[in-house]
Amino acid sequence: MTYQVDILDPKADKLLHDLADLKLIAISKASNDPFLTIVNRLRTNAAVNPPTLQEITKEVENVRSKHYAGKNKA
């Protein structure tokens, strides 16, 4: 049986490791965090074909114009 647990208190981390030491549970790292997968893909793409300053500026201006256009309609 597998559970995903988000640890909110560092004391809980120690308890889990103690249980693992007693061989009552097994702890393994998540192998594929979707966020990290996307970040790594973006970093790889940027390393191969980095955007130019003009491309970045154009994208920022497009996003800002869409954002401000939405505010003016309200």
Cα gap 1→25, rounded to integer Å: 10
Q: What is the pLDDT of residue 36?
A: 85
Domain boundaries, the chain: 10-72
**Helices H / strands E in the chain, number of each:** 3, 0
**pLDDT tens digits, residue range 5-58?**
888 999 999 999 999 999 999 998 776 778 888 888 888 888 888 889 999 999
